[in-house]
Structure 1
Amino acid sequence: MRLWWETLPGLRQAEMDAFEARGWRVRVDPAAEAQGFLVVHVEFPLDGEALPLRVAYPAQFPYFRPAVYAPPGRFPEHQNPIDGVLCLLGPRTQEWHPETTVAGFLEERIPALLDAIDGGRPLVEQQAEIRAGYLPYDDPSYVLFDSAWAPPAGARSGSLVAKGALLASGERLLLRMAITKAKTGGREIPVEVVPFQSAPGSFTIEFPFAVVDGLDMEEKPDAHWAKVAHLFPGLDRRLKESTVGGKKWQFAVAALLAAEEIQKGIRGFSFVTFLIHRPKGTRDFRVARIRGLRAGRQDMGARVPATQILRDRHVLLVGCGAIGGQIAVELSKAGLGRLTLFDYDHVEPGPTVRWPLGQSFFGESKSAALAAHIKQHWPQAKVTAYTGVVGGAAVPEGPVEGVTLDEVMEGVHLVIDATAEVGVQHYMSDRCREVGIPYIYASATPGAKGGIVARFMPRDGQGCWFCLQHAMYQDGAIQEPGHDDAAEVLPAGCNHPTFAGAGYDLLEVSLQGVRMAVQALDPRRTAETFAAVLDFKEELGLPAWRAHGVPRFGGCECQG
């Protein structure tokens, strides 16, 4: 890769000239230059003195900003207290203007930093000064906690209860756990976070915490622990033991709850946890500093506020193939509280080219595979999986693993049908209309040239599934979606016809199904019956959606 000052001749000299024009003393770091980087040491005039700055130009300058370092601890805010880098702009790349010289940038932003510290205009809008974020951690260890939880006013210590697991990584231990309970002042307070996924060797542990008003900015975990160990007297005499990776370990856990700004203008707590451990029979402890990850209900919903209504909703998804599988995953990610999956098929290699899961699930039933995946990654969704055929002949123990379809539908707020089977759609739509449950069906057309997602809300006066089929395929009131009937295929070893079409095209149908499902589940809005019809503009590959109401067919006996 060519150096930026070779690609843009004259730019490096213009940078040096800009420093010289201001009368600032500048020295190029020869060691960095020998490695292909430009690092300059600048004496910035500040209050009659020279503030030493180190400016590291990025390899892609001038498209991206430089990193500017001052002596660590020089400024009480807007500076990483460990490496000294200054926070002169917000994190977004568009805040840096490529036509700016670094000298001009410093001339403008250093005074702005001082104004911010002195209580003037804010340096970075809506950005909190979270000091815990500056510390280096022993990743990928973590502790899950809830931002909304705080110890009672005046409490300075207590204990936390967590579910967790230890993992061996060479000569160190990794710790992953989720806080479930706090004990302080004789009170026991539940803490709600994303459920911890149990693994071999999982345990429940109680360990002490101490509240601190500020964090020591020590780069090395053992030096940091040496400064705070007095807050946890006798901890090294209350060691726990566990066999991990075939080796016996002794360990102890302690946490600091650091009071600090967690959002602009909002104070809360950051978690910094220490894992003190050693192989049993050895003398010296290793200290690991563990990152706290915010995983409470409010934390998980902050990025998708519109889907918070899903947490107490229950969806039945019939059909877990290319379209249904993606719907299941997306609803779970969005925070759905309960999901019931129903499918007859198992996972084969060929269809995974357009299915969300891959080789590790070959041979499993699709519904069970999706349930296992969702439970591992989005465990707030309570998933039940059934393997069976809608319309299959009943057997003595019942048509589906000992339960009837009516029992599966009990307590459901919405049914989504992704089977692409006309007979199933006809039955499920009639059954949902009969019991007053909203019904959505989602399917693609042969060749993935188009698709349809239709939502039917009970008793809203519009037509039913049968009315929609008549409008599209009989009287032409609604133009049917694009299709290529020649694209139907019967792969080797498969006795059920399918169609050619890529997963990235089918995903359009899945995502529209999720949008319409969230609307139907939202008690704050009145969702309507309508059909979303998809066509792909072949020359450009652009998806084009059309929205249609569902006219009632005079020959249909539906009640709307």
Structure 2
Amino acid sequence: MVDPESSVTTSAGPVPRWEKRYPGRLQYELDALHAAGITPEIDEPALAAGRLSLTFDWPLDAATTLRLQAVFPDAYPHFRPQVFLLAGLDPPPARHRSPVEGNLCLLGRDTRQWRPSWSLWTLLEKQLADSVRGTGEEDPQGEPAEYWWNNLGLNSGSYCLIDSGWDLGDASQGTLQLRYIQDQTVKVEAENGPVHIPAIRAYVKEIRAEDGQVLHQWAGPLPTDLADTKNQLEVPWVRSKDTILPDPQLEAQLKKLRQDYLWLQRAQPRNYGPGLKFELCAIVYPSELAFGKTGLGWSFVMVFGHAHGFEPKKNRAPKPLRITALPAFRAGPSDIGWRVPAVASLKDKRIVVVGVGAVGAPVAIELARNGCRTLDLVEHDILEPGNTIRWPLGVAAWGQRKTAALRAFLARQYPATEVRGHPHFIGVAAQALSDPGDDDVLDALIRGADLVIDGSASHGVTTLLDDRCRSAVVPLISLSATPTLEGGTVVRHIRESGCPICLLHAWHKHEIDPPSGQDAGDEALIQPAGCGERTFTGADYDLRELSLQAVRLAVDTLSGEADQGSVVQTLSFVDDERARCPPRWRVDLLPKHPDCQGGH
């Protein structure tokens, strides 16, 4: 049944939804096609639902006529119509076309390439010939074959992890040792009704050649549950000299692949439910990984369904089986961080974060996200409900030590980073001799560290850390907000350059402007009910500016910028009249101050 609100009807009949917003646009489109001698067939049921779908013949040249379908989105004319190649080219083009749905890539992904003033005819006249012939100017964007395979299984919750750094040498076939988790099925709507697909999360633990030689073993990060699973599956793999794209007729395509590569017939079904089984095989082929760059493409083809489809009963027709693909996700060491090459400086580093409260905890999360090898977190506090509004983890962490909650979270989400928690209250004398003192904790942590980040917002802690870091020749970054949260600072301290006391002198002498709100008194602080300490008022979305800048400064420092010495980065959320404004940063160098009597 058609929703009466979903379409627009005029005295001449139904029209697309966008026609109501842009009257006359439908006639504009049809007139442009008619003027070119093209009479499209309109999908009347689609139009009754408020959508325009046109099917028509398009003369590519004197000898070739293409059968096309154009479907207009609800967001037209802000977005272009999708054009599908139905017939006319055999074989169909291998590039700029989905091998399954048949939709053509007539423009790049940048939506600015489509002009709302264009008609469908304009789009086809300008772009179609070059698209199907592979000529003309194109965006420098590769078309990985596995992208199309992956699309077959994207709604299943499944994946198999691979490594872009693998090189199979001359091997042409062999086996994969997969470790996997299959603990649920996913209901997916299909053309002939809902399908229950086994949700499989896997990684290739080991690649072996046909003779059993181990070619590669997994070396990348893994989700905790996947790293711990004992479920193992041996999967046959074959290597094709040609790129293999998925065919709309997957069953016929897999049958031919098994005929061409008999090794694939070694796949063994596994149970995934009462009377249900699945089997996997892998295909490796040359694929365009990036524009003009060819490497190995991986596709994992999965057959699943009733057990009788794999082992038919005598005198009974076999149960029908389904075919899909496990998306191949690249998660090797070289794949993680590919999008942000600047963070390569974090890969082998150990960073100590002292104070993982409202500003320090986001720093720790960002460092782990961007590939820091080891994080040592020092904090004595636990998470209370009132802290949640400006702490990155929520209600599930209430009552936990902040170090423990962060360590558990980061272990799940960023397992490549080793996180160690140190629940210690700096500056508080240990009553029992068995309790570690500041020296016991800090000296061991700072020795050999690559960087220390101070998020304690405590002047005493900052000066202590600066003293210890200078002795160990380790750079220190401190960050804090002012009591009113009108501003804050991110400061890098380097040995033989300015220290925290130097900064106080520079502020006092007006050589460096202090952050807005620095001079606020105790009246700027509040004490929440039941809390043992007063605190400032301010939101996480403002504090996060300081945390993110501290991470930027950490990356710059570890990339070699420490040679520039101590530096003060001052944040302001207010203008000269102290009216609220977008974040503004100022940068000042911090040399040794002549009035400082520190030991540097």
TM-score normalised by the chain length of structure 2: 0.85
Whole-angstrom distance in 2 between the partners of 1:225 and 1:489: 68
In the other structure, the counterpart of 2:247 is: 218
1:475 corresponds to which letter in structure 2? K
2:173 corresponds to which letter in structure 1? S
CA deviation after TM superposition for structure 1 residue 554, in Å:
2.8
CA deviation after TM superposition for structure 1 residue 228, in Å:
3.4
CA deviation after TM superposition for structure 1 residue 506, in Å:
0.5
Whether the 8 Å contact between 2:166 and 2:216 is mirrored in structure 1 is: no
SS at match of 2:202: strand
Name whichever of 27-36 and 212-221 sits farther off. 212-221
In the other structure, the counterpart of 2:477 is: 440
2:203 corresponds to which letter in structure 1? A
SS at match of 1:423: helix
In the other structure, the counterpart of 1:505 is: 542
Structure 2 counterparts to residues 161-180 of structure 1, below 5 A: 161-169=177-185, 172-180=197-205
Whole-angstrom distance in 2 between the partners of 1:511 and 1:260: 37
Whether the 8 Å contact between 1:387 and 1:400 is mirrored in structure 2 is: no
Name whichever of 370-379 and 522-531 sits farther off. 522-531
Q: Give yes or no for the alignment of 1:262 onto 2:289.
A: yes
> CA 1:400 to 1:5, structure 2 compared with 1: closer, same or farther past 3 Å?
farther
SS at match of 1:490: coil
1:68 corresponds to which letter in structure 2? V
> CA 1:95 to 1:540, structure 2 compared with 1: closer, same or farther past 3 Å?
farther
Whole-angstrom distance in 2 between the partners of 1:106 and 1:161: 48
Name whichever of 52-61 and 285-294 sits farther off. 285-294
Whole-angstrom distance in 2 between the partners of 1:384 and 1:513: 20
Name whichever of 129-138 and 363-372 sits farther off. 129-138
Q: Give yes or no for the alignment of 1:541 onto 2:541.
A: no
Offset from partner CA, 1:379-430 (integer Å, 9 cap, x none): 1111111111112323333427996221122321000000111111111111
Whole-angstrom distance in 2 between the partners of 1:106 and 1:545: 49
Offset from partner CA, 1:239-273 (integer Å, 9 cap, x none): 5568x8xx697654321113221111111122211
Name whichever of 266-275 and 213-222 sits farther off. 213-222
CA deviation after TM superposition for structure 1 residue 178, in Å:
2.3
Q: Give yes or no for the alignment of 1:140 onto 2:154.
A: no
In the other structure, the counterpart of 2:569 is: 532
Whole-angstrom distance in 2 between the partners of 1:516 and 1:179: 37
> CA 1:343 to 1:292, structure 2 compared with 1: closer, same or farther past 3 Å?
same
1:161 corresponds to which letter in structure 2? Q
In the other structure, the counterpart of 1:54 is: 69
In the other structure, the counterpart of 2:216 is: 189
Whether the 8 Å contact between 1:386 and 1:400 is mirrored in structure 2 is: no
In the other structure, the counterpart of 2:315 is: none
SS at match of 1:99: coil
Which one of the candidate residues 90, 95, 100 is aligned to 1:77? Answer: 95
Whole-angstrom distance in 1 between the partners of 2:69 and 2:121: 12
Which one of the candidate residues 55, 75, 94 is aligned to 2:112? Answer: 94
In the other structure, the counterpart of 1:272 is: 299
Whether the 8 Å contact between 2:258 and 2:265 is mirrored in structure 1 is: no
Whole-angstrom distance in 1 between the partners of 2:111 and 2:458: 48
Whole-angstrom distance in 2 between the partners of 1:249 and 1:386: 49
In the other structure, the counterpart of 2:489 is: 452
Whole-angstrom distance in 2 between the partners of 1:259 and 1:386: 49
Q: Give yes or no for the alignment of 1:209 onto 2:223.
A: no
Whole-angstrom distance in 1 between the partners of 2:304 and 2:128: 44
Which one of the candidate residues 155, 162, 174 is aligned to 1:158? Answer: 174
2:224 corresponds to which letter in structure 1? Q
CA deviation after TM superposition for structure 1 residue 516, in Å:
0.7
In the other structure, the counterpart of 1:465 is: 500
Whether the 8 Å contact between 2:478 and 2:491 is mirrored in structure 1 is: yes
> CA 1:206 to 1:522, structure 2 compared with 1: closer, same or farther past 3 Å?
farther
Q: Give yes or no for the alignment of 1:430 onto 2:467.
A: yes
Which one of the candidate residues 430, 434, 446 is aligned to 1:397? Answer: 434
Name whichever of 400-409 and 486-495 sits farther off. 400-409
Structure 2 counterparts to residues 328-367 of structure 1, below 5 A: 328-367=364-403
Offset from partner CA, 1:10-67 (integer Å, 9 cap, x none): 2221111111221122222211111111112232112234312111111121111110
SS at match of 1:198: helix
Offset from partner CA, 1:267-323 (integer Å, 9 cap, x none): 112221134556889956665520001112222222101111210011000111111
Which one of the candidate residues 300, 305, 312 is aligned to 2:348? Answer: 312
Offset from partner CA, 1:104-143 (integer Å, 9 cap, x none): 1101101222442xxx434x32122223222311531011
Whether the 8 Å contact between 1:273 and 1:292 is mirrored in structure 2 is: yes
Q: Give yes or no for the alignment of 1:106 onto 2:121.
A: no
Whether the 8 Å contact between 1:386 and 1:401 is mirrored in structure 2 is: no
1:269 corresponds to which letter in structure 2? L
2:566 corresponds to which letter in structure 1? T
Segments of structure 1 that go 5 or more residues without pairing to the other structure are: none
Whether the 8 Å contact between 1:463 and 1:558 is mirrored in structure 2 is: no
Whole-angstrom distance in 2 between the partners of 1:397 and 1:211: 62
1:405 corresponds to which letter in structure 2? L
Whole-angstrom distance in 1 between the partners of 2:490 and 2:480: 7
1:61 corresponds to which letter in structure 2? Y
> CA 1:216 to 1:60, structure 2 compared with 1: closer, same or farther past 3 Å?
closer
> CA 1:240 to 1:103, structure 2 compared with 1: closer, same or farther past 3 Å?
closer
Segments of structure 2 that go 5 or more residues without pairing to the other structure are: 1-5, 9-16, 187-195, 312-318
In the other structure, the counterpart of 2:145 is: 131
Whole-angstrom distance in 2 between the partners of 1:522 and 1:265: 30
In the other structure, the counterpart of 2:590 is: 550
Whether the 8 Å contact between 1:177 and 1:196 is mirrored in structure 2 is: no
Offset from partner CA, 1:524-558 (integer Å, 9 cap, x none): 77343101111112535311111112243334233
> CA 1:323 to 1:69, structure 2 compared with 1: closer, same or farther past 3 Å?
same
SS at match of 2:98: coil
Identity of aligned residues (%): 30
TM-score normalised by the chain length of structure 1: 0.90
2:247 corresponds to which letter in structure 1? E
Name whichever of 381-390 and 397-406 sits farther off. 397-406
Q: Give yes or no for the alignment of 1:64 onto 2:79.
A: yes
Whole-angstrom distance in 2 between the partners of 1:100 and 1:239: 52
Whether the 8 Å contact between 1:454 and 1:530 is mirrored in structure 2 is: yes
Name whichever of 16-25 and 101-110 sits farther off. 16-25
Whether the 8 Å contact between 1:519 and 1:527 is mirrored in structure 2 is: no
Whether the 8 Å contact between 1:312 and 1:336 is mirrored in structure 2 is: yes
Whole-angstrom distance in 2 between the partners of 1:141 and 1:401: 48
Q: Give yes or no for the alignment of 1:42 onto 2:56.
A: yes
Whole-angstrom distance in 1 between the partners of 2:38 and 2:84: 16
1:356 corresponds to which letter in structure 2? P
Whether the 8 Å contact between 1:520 and 1:527 is mirrored in structure 2 is: no
In the other structure, the counterpart of 2:34 is: 20
Whole-angstrom distance in 2 between the partners of 1:487 and 1:248: 68
Whole-angstrom distance in 2 between the partners of 1:337 and 1:270: 29
Whole-angstrom distance in 2 between the partners of 1:287 and 1:70: 24
